[in-house]
Amino acid sequence: MKLRIKYTKTGPLRYISHLDVMRFFQKAIRRAGFDVSYTKGFSPHQIISFAAPMPLGMTSEGEYFDGEFNTVTNTADMVEGINETMPPYIQVLDIIKLEDKAKPSMSIVAASDYVVYDNPQSEVRPVSNLISKGFELPDELVALKKTKSGEKTEDIRPYIYGLGLMDTTSGEISRWILKPEGASDRVKIVTPLEEPVGLYMLLSAGSINNLKPEAVSGGLAKLFDCPYSAGDERIHRLDTFMNSDTGFASLDKSGERF
């Protein structure tokens, strides 16, 4: 049986690498006593796969992995069971059942949304500066992009699907700079952040056009003449999306609770 598990990674655990998170869940699944499936062969391993690697330093409340299980109980029971064995900074939010033929989360990621906010430890405040300048999104935004063969400049504007000013407590978008079609004016956020306002961004993600939030804030800062370095801001991922008939849908909409 295929399940998709949504989890958070917050606070100090932003310094745990993606590889370590994978190893962490292998153990958490066993502590929780889940009946996970193993591969056959001499050194069997759990059949689980993660959606997208998360860079060091970023926090998130919208991470996913998929797993194969021989038997399951129900969503509420499993969420509670595994959360008891994990620190408060990494918690499972939801578990859904997938169709047998469902594609792995890794292959369907199309977008992600983020809050970018000023690092409370830094004196330079790029996000506040941008906001105070009443910035707009230009028709073309050039940013440096790392590729396999080095760096190149690229217009990242087409990969920005949404941009706004956000109240980090209520999730309310007080001003849209680019409003995604059909978007609500209030975004769901469960993690307390250390700054009251931030930039909301909905960006292309996945293996093809993965746009990093710092490319957007960095590009804007440059354009509007604000001092900026990546360490002056923090990034919190809100959720990860796939394409659906009605536009972007959260990865946890690919199945039902059970």
Partner 1 sequence: MKLALPDRILMNIEKPARYIGQEVNMAVKDINSVDVRVAMCFPDVYEIGMSYLGLQILYDLFNRYEDCYCERVFSPWPDLDKVMREENIKLFTLETQTPVCDMDWLGITIQYEMCYTNILQVIDLSGIPLLAKDRKKGDAIVIGGGPCTVNPEPVADFFDIIYVGEGEVSYRNLLDLYKQYKNSDMTREDFLHEASKLPGIYSPSLYDVDYNEDGTVREIRPLREGVPEKIVWQDVLDFENAPYPMKPVIPYLKVTQDRVGLEIMRGCIRGCRFCQAGMIYRPTRQKNVDMLKKYAKEMLKNTGYEEINLSSLSSSDYDKLDELLTFLIEMRDNDHVNVSLPSLRVDAFSLDVMSKVQDIKKSSLTFACEAGTQRLRNVINKGLTEEYIMEGCRQAFVGGWDKVKLYFMLGLPTETEEDMLGIAELSQRISECFFDNVPKEQRNGRVMITASASYFVPKPFTPFQWASMIRPEEFTRRAHAVKDACNSMRNKKSIRFIYHDADISILEGVFARGDRRLSKVILRAYEKGAIYDAWSEFFKPAIYDEAFAECGIDPYFYTERTRPEDEVFPWDHIDVGVTRSFLLNEWRLSQQEKVTPNCREKCSGCGAAKYGGGVCYEAKN
Interface residues with partner 1 (CB under 8 A)? 11-13, 15-17, 20-21, 23-24, 26-31, 33, 38, 42-44, 56-57, 85-87, 89, 119, 121-122, 231, 234
User: Whose Cβ is closer to partner 1: residue 97's or residue 237's?
Assistant: 237
Count, residues in the chain: 258
User: From the CB of 86, what's the least distance to partner 1, in Å?
Assistant: 7
User: From the CB of 11, what's the least distance to partner 1, in Å?
Assistant: 6
User: Whose Cβ is closer to partner 1: residue 38's or residue 138's?
Assistant: 38
User: Whose Cβ is closer to partner 1: residue 214's or residue 252's?
Assistant: 214
User: From the CB of 55, what's the least distance to partner 1, in Å?
Assistant: 10
Q: Do 218 and 227 meet the contact criterion of CB atoms below 8 Å apart? A: no
User: Whose Cβ is closer to partner 1: residue 163's or residue 235's?
Assistant: 235
User: From the CB of 6, what's the least distance to partner 1, in Å?
Assistant: 20
